[in-house]
């Protein structure tokens, strides 16, 4: 009988190489210039080049969006530093798509998912602090903004705390260009 507690090492062998192609069919490292892909099977050396057609854009984008949402959620849920709950998973998805809608490519050379735009988060904190009377306009225009921005850079816990504040999250969403629904929207739906 085997011991089920024994660790098993699984070795995975690469089966393909993936490349981005520009509009001339040349391999490019610049994602912003990519209009197609090259899939190269390692064993046979055979390649498949594909320039994305107009017809395929919607289908690929929809499939990719579904996959991206799942990947963002999984990354937060399976984080070795501590599993993120439902709220953190949904926030990661919303943040990633806000970055997409802003036309930004994600830096794939670093670990982790899409980053929080700390300039937007700083502004959202300022707006809520002003609305709550915690700071004055003079403070907001002064060094308070720099202090918040610095704290966001220094403390992941501060970022997490800020992202869990419902009104800061709502202001951040507005700054990211997301449609934020109001109580009036809820009431209008039942009128």
Q: Does residue 134 sit in the same domain as residue 170?
A: yes
Q: Does residue 168 sit in the same domain as residue 140?
A: yes
Q: What is the C-alpha to C-alpha distance for residues 31 and 59, in angstroms, rounded to an integer? A: 20
Nearest to 88 by CA among 114, 62, 56: 114
Residue 111 has pLDDT above 90, yes or no: no
| DSSP 8-state symbol, 155 | -
Q: Does residue 143 sit in the same domain as residue 96?
A: no
pLDDT at 13: 84
Q: What is the C-alpha to C-alpha distance for residues 43 and 37, in angstroms, rounded to an integer? A: 19
Number of C-beta neighbours around residue 141 at 10 A: 11
Q: Does residue 61 sit in the same domain as residue 42?
A: no
Task: Categorise residue 177: left if φ over 0, alpha if ψ from -120 to 50, beta otherwise.
Answer: left
Residue 190 belongs to some domain of the structure = no
Residue 30 belongs to some domain of the structure = yes
Residue 4 belongs to some domain of the structure = no
Q: Does residue 167 sit in the same domain as residue 131?
A: yes
Tens digits of per-residue pLDDT, 5-64? 565 565 678 889 999 999 999 999 988 899 999 999 999 999 999 999 999 999 999 999
Q: Does residue 62 sit in the same domain as residue 45?
A: no
Q: What is the C-alpha to C-alpha distance for residues 8 and 170, in angstroms, rounded to an integer? A: 46
Strand order in the sheet with 27-28: 27-28, 16-21, 36-41, 47-51
Residue 83 belongs to some domain of the structure = yes
Q: Tell me which residue range forms the domain holding 82.
A: 56-101
pTM, 2 dp: 0.46
Residue 9 belongs to some domain of the structure = no
């Amino acid at each position: 009988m085997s011991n089920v507690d024994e660790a098993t090492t699984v070795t995975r062998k690469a089966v393909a190489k993936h490349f981005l192609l520009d509009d001339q069919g040349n391999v490019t490292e610049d994602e912003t210039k990519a209009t197609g892909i090259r899939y190269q099977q390692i064993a046979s050396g055979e390649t498949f080049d594909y320039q994305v057609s107009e017809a395929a854009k919607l289908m690929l984008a929809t499939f990719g969006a579904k996959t991206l949402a799942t990947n963002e959620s999984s990354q937060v849920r399976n984080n070795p530093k501590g599993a993120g709950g439902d709220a953190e998973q949904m926030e990661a998805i919303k943040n990633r798509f806000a970055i997409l809608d802003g036309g930004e490519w994600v830096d794939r050379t670093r670990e982790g998912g899409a980053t929080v735009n700390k300039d937007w988060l700083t502004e959202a904190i300022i707006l809520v602090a002003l609305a709550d009377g915690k700071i004055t306009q003079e403070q907001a225009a002064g060094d308070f903004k720099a202090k918040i921005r610095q704290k966001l850079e220094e403390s992941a816990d501060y970022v997490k705390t800020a992202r869990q504040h419902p009104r800061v999250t709502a202001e951040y969403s507005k700054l990211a260009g997301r449609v934020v629904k109001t109580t009036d929207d809820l009431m209008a739906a039942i009128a």
